[in-house]
Amino acid sequence: MRPTAPKPLVSKSWWIVLLIGLVFVTAGYGLRYEIESTSASSGSSWPDLALFLCAYLFAFCLKPIQKAILRKLCQRAAQRTHHKTAR
């Protein structure tokens, strides 16, 4: 049976992933508004489509990113306890 990660590490890894997602969403909307402000045409729906497609792809990447962050957090926690017991 696989060892389970402590609850604080799981929630911390999800918070990190959500912050990364928030940064990407903010950058996407900022880029969209910048493109709309410089574009003279009113029919520019391609930034909306590009933003939607990137968000759709990012949604599939959330769980693998969270697992990678959780693995790193567990490794660091194990190293810290190993260093504390070695002293």
pTM score, whole prediction: 0.65
SS3 5: coil
By CB neighbour count within 10 A (0-12 exposed, 13-18 middle, 19+ buried), where does 4 fall? exposed
Does the pLDDT of residue 86 top 70, yes or no?
A: no
Q: Over the stretch 10-36, which tens digit does the pLDDT of each residue have?
A: 888 888 888 888 888 888 888 878 877
Give the percent of the chain with pLDDT over 70.
85
